[in-house]
Amino acid sequence: MATGVRFPTDSSTATARQVVADALRKVDPVGAQAAERETNWRRGYLIHFSRLLEAGLATPEDAVTIATEGLRSIREQMRCGDGSLADALDSRAAGHDWSTVDITGEAEPETELSVPYRGRRLTGADLDDQLDDWVQRGVVEPTFSEAIREVAAHPEWLRLEGDTVVVLGAGAEMGPYRSLLRWGADVIAVDLPRADIQKRIRDHAREGAGRVRLPVGGKETGADLLHTLPELGRWLDDLEGRLVLGTYCYADGATHVRVSAAADTLAARLLSQRPDTALAYLATPTDVFAVPAGAVTTSNDAYENGRRLLRAPFRTLSGGRLLQRNYPPDVEIGVCDSLVPQQGPNYALAKRVQRWRAAVARHDGATVSLNVAPATRTASVVKNRALAAAYAGAHRFGVEVFEPATSNVLMAALLVHDLRSDRVPAEEPWREEAYAAAHGGLWTAGYHPRSALGLAAVLGFAGSRA
């Protein structure tokens, strides 16, 4: 059985089902009962995660209630040490006091936003042209282009002077660690105490232009969120200045939920002890989102202008399952369900916990950066052959899949924008999630993502073989 932060039983299914039911209970009691009665969670979770979003669309208060109850449930159910996760950081951690390794980079800070894209570095007019192209093709929301342009116009923001960014998962492919260092930011790099990971983190620190601090527990550099959560919390308590807690951790299967729950406990503690703390997350595009009218109109136009003669036989042979339209006609707010069954319910819950915390913290007045990142060819994705094939064929359906280097810089720039711009967040959580979204075209595609996923995989596999 797992140790440290863990599920109350050997199976994650019962906990996940209970968390979803508890989240829905006050707003959608019928939906809560349906989740509790689901007998095939591995296949049936999709509809319940969609309901978590849809039940919160009536009022902002409903969305915040769902998020609050979901967080409460997972905090009370998950275990840490001899008690619940809710109690994990309430007492002083036992054991050795932690120390700090401090590294200052040797490079000069970059003073211009530069985005790597298809073998080029985009700046100035070239970056403007590419942003226009992405918007025109429906790859990003127009507000994404506006936000990136604002950062490019204010290169003095890039250094994030006065803030200390705590990067949980500093070695993650989709994290902002390297971009922040190139810009000269002050970073706390937290990742597993593994020699290969820590060497990579140190090498990037020396090559960068910022300041990096690493936690050291005993003889090990690094921190394992699952097994040293209280100690890490105590170490962070001693840091001065405003912290920006960025959660970029990833793990396979149920471990991802455990890590996400541990990081959320840390976020709740920091917000309680240090109310000026800001939070940062990346939302996956393969989730359920409410999308604005402009994206719905683009999608419906794409469906109507699609190749009907080619679409008809697929629809007929599949009994209507393939190439379904993404949204009903004439809806003002669309619901884009891009959940991918291959990623599984644990992945969905781990990412939903982050969206819930963002909604609750923002409602309570905290600064929050949560941005929808584009589908990206990370190692964790392409090792799944079905997903790798689907990504290879996605362009046939108007979806652009990004390289990690491009996504990293763009998402780090959005983090800078969220921390430095004077934009007032939207009252409705769904609108705030849709702001500056880089969904890659999933929201504007003519077809429901899952109804085209199989064909994209077939076309992608055939293309790679060719």
- Predicted TM-score of the model (pTM): 0.94
Say if CB 169 and CB 249 are below 8 A apart: yes
CA 350/CA 168 separation, integer angstroms: 14
Secondary structure class of 157 (helix, strand, coil) = helix
CA 293/CA 174 separation, integer angstroms: 29
Nearest Cα neighbor of 354 from 60, 26, 67 is 67
Do both 458 and 355 map to the same domain? yes
Angle at CA 100, nearest 5°, toward 86 and 244?
55
Do both 144 and 39 map to the same domain? no
Quote the radius of gyration of the chain (alpha carbons, Å).
22
What pLDDT does residue 84 have? 86
Say if CB 389 and CB 401 are below 8 A apart: no
What pLDDT does residue 466 have? 46
What single letter denotes the amino acid at residue 370? L
Last residue of a domain, one of 44, 62, 92: 92
Concatenating the DSSP letter of every residue in 404-454 gives HHHHHHHHHHHHHHHHH--PPPPSSHHHHHHTT---TTTTT-SB-HHHHHH
Domain interval for residue 35: 5-92
Do both 148 and 31 map to the same domain? no
CA 204/CA 106 separation, integer angstroms: 10
Do both 88 and 114 map to the same domain? no
Last residue of a domain, one of 72, 92, 112: 92
Residue 394 within any structural domain of the chain = yes
Do both 82 and 142 map to the same domain? no
Q: What is the mean pLDDT of each run of 10 residues along the chain (466 residues)?
A: 84 95 98 97 96 97 98 95 83 67 96 96 98 97 98 98 97 95 98 96 97 93 94 91 96 95 96 96 97 95 74 58 85 92 94 98 98 91 79 88 96 98 96 98 93 82 58
CATH code at 237? Answer: 3.40.50.720
What pLDDT does residue 270 have? 95
Do both 260 and 391 map to the same domain? yes
What pLDDT does residue 77 have? 94
What pLDDT does residue 96 have? 56
Say if CB 422 and CB 189 are below 8 A apart: no
Residue 308 within any structural domain of the chain = no
Do both 432 and 356 map to the same domain? yes
Do both 126 and 186 map to the same domain? yes
Concatenating the DSSP letter of every residue in 278-319 gives EEEEEE-SSSEEEE-HHHHHHHHHHHHTS-HHHHHHHHHHTT
Task: Report CA-CA distances (Å) from 110 to 136, 146, 155, 208, 417.
Answer: 29, 21, 9, 10, 16
Residue 168 within any structural domain of the chain = yes
